[in-house]
Amino acid sequence: MYDLQGKVAIVTGAGSGIGRAIALRLAKEGAQVAAVDILGETAMAVADEMRKLGGKALGIVADVGNREDVERMVAAVVAQLGRIDVLYNNAGVVMYKPVVEILEEEWEDLFRVNMKGVFLVAQAVARQMISQRGGKIINLASVAGKRGMPNLSAYCASKFGVVGFTQALAWELADYGITVNAMCPGVVDTPMWEKLDAEICRRQGLPRGEARRRAINTNVIKRVETPEEVANLAVFLASSESDYITGQSLNVCGGRVFH
């Protein structure tokens, strides 16, 4: 367990999956958490769950790809909770499609969330952390940011981008006492993976669940990853025990990739 009493954290994409698991784990560790999601109902539901755990929580509706939304979100957190100690840039989308079929607007829509959103939120939060002279930024990348995969070209490109952005930002913010790292999950039991499995199976004529089963079998640990296992790494990176770690993209993937 990590003692995060008094820490203030923002989790984007907190309405479900990995984001929800991170938000709830932070609340259990004593942090005050702003659960941010584009869907207001899910953001508020997660905030209610965190309050039941005894923590102070906010539910905020925001589109991470919209600068005005992002700046409003950051201002609301500072106004109500006083500071920002930890950011989890978790919001993301996926697309499984051969590159020759991808429409320009589909590519742009994915990058709007997975790269522009990460940039906008990190930029706004970094300004606050610089004024505080400290903080931790954790970006959600993926094993798809370590290895190209067929029919995931847009998603892989965006997650490779998150890895590079993480490294550059670690250099830029180090003198202000801010660390920047990324997490690289694999096959996680989330709505995103359900969507991905359904699309792969549809295209390949497979029964639902078969694509995920085959993906799991390429892991060293041959089972699906839980969102809570990603949250385990997330709280470590939020804690003082990770103070000498920065610029890293850490795999939490059951051995799906090794670098």
Which one-letter amino acid corresponds to residue 77?
V
Can you give the residue range of the structural domain that contains 137?
A: 8-187+226-252
Q: What 3-state DSSP class applies to 132?
A: helix
Which one-letter amino acid corresponds to residue 169?
L
Confidence tier at 100 by pLDDT (50, 70, 90): very high
Q: Is residue 201 part of a domain?
A: no
- Residue 25 in contact with residue 55, Cβ under 8 Å? no
pTM comes to 0.96
Which one-letter amino acid corresponds to residue 107?
W
Give the CA angle between residues 53, 55, 61 to the nearest 5°. 105
Q: pLDDT tens digits, residue range 128-183? A: 999 999 999 999 999 999 999 999 999 999 999 999 999 999 999 999 999 999 99
Question: How high is the pLDDT of residue 137?
Answer: 98
Over 80: is that where the pLDDT of 120 sits?
Answer: yes
Over 80: is that where the pLDDT of 5 sits?
Answer: yes
Which one-letter amino acid corresponds to residue 129?
M
Query: Which residues make Cβ contacts (< 8 Å) with residue 6, sequence separation at least 6?
Result: 30, 32
Confidence tier at 2 by pLDDT (50, 70, 90): confident
Mean pLDDT over each residue of the chain, to the nearest integer: 97
Question: How high is the pLDDT of residue 55?
Answer: 82
Both tokens of 45, joined, read 């539901």
Q: How far is CA 190 from CA 16, 54, 62, 93, 150, in A?
A: 8, 26, 21, 12, 21
Across 11-23, average pLDDT = 98
Number of domains in the chain: 1
- Residue 115 in contact with residue 65, Cβ under 8 Å? no
Over 80: is that where the pLDDT of 1 sits?
Answer: no
Q: Is residue 23 part of a domain?
A: yes
**In this structure, what CATH number is given to the domain that contains residue 45?**
3.40.50.720
Both tokens of 6, joined, read 């008094």
Q: Is residue 1 part of a domain?
A: no
Q: Is residue 15 part of a domain?
A: yes
Question: How high is the pLDDT of residue 74?
Answer: 98
Q: Is residue 103 part of a domain?
A: yes
Question: How high is the pLDDT of residue 140?
Answer: 98
Question: How high is the pLDDT of residue 195?
Answer: 94
- DSSP for 153-215, written as a single string: HHHHHHHHHHHHHHHHHHHHHGGGTEEEEEEEE-SBSSHHHHHHHHHHHHHHT--TTHHHHHH
Over 90: is that where the pLDDT of 257 sits?
Answer: yes
Place of tokens 């847009």: 154
Both tokens of 124, joined, read 């706004």
Place of tokens 């522009």: 116
Q: pLDDT tens digits, residue range 45-70? A: 999 999 999 889 999 999 999 999 99
Q: Is residue 2 part of a domain?
A: no
Distance CA(143)–CA(166), nearest Å, equals 15
Where do the DSSP E strands lie in the chain? 8-12, 32-37, 57-61, 86-89, 135-140, 178-185, 249-252
Question: How high is the pLDDT of residue 254?
Answer: 94
Q: pLDDT tens digits, residue range 192-233? A: 999 999 999 999 999 999 999 999 999 999 999 999 999 999
Residues assigned a catalytic role:
155
Q: pLDDT tens digits, residue range 20-44? A: 999 999 999 999 999 999 999 999 9
Q: Is residue 232 part of a domain?
A: yes
